[in-house]
Structure 1
């Protein structure tokens, strides 16, 4: 599985676009989640899907401390690297 930042962001964008019923292009990876209309239920869904896909435990506060997809991808890559 590709765990580059671009791959993580791309997968997350597709996941959120599907959940929100919006085109992938409308999901700006640098936009804060609240600006994208992501509420806590969608955020928790994303968190669980990321954990399952990448096998990394992410605490819920990770989404608040990393409030956009670019930041989440960076966080996830750092956590993945620390596990190795």
Structure 2
């Protein structure tokens, strides 16, 4: 990742945008990263992947909780007890 001080980023905005199409650019203030500028398509893919990972973690957690819950009953058993026919 390319680093660029904020003062230079302001002065060379169009160069920063051009560079961000090739690789992410970290904007720094006093040597510390503050924000990252990256190509829109890459940002969208990264956010989608992050959302998918969060969803998978939530499903895994729910499955663990269900597996540990002695009160959990299979759907077929609940339907049978309620007189419901599953398709």
The TM-score normalised by the length of structure 1 is 0.28
More helix by percentage: 1
| Structure with the larger RCO, 1 or 2 (CA within 8 Å, 6+ apart) | 1
* Structure of greater Rg: 2
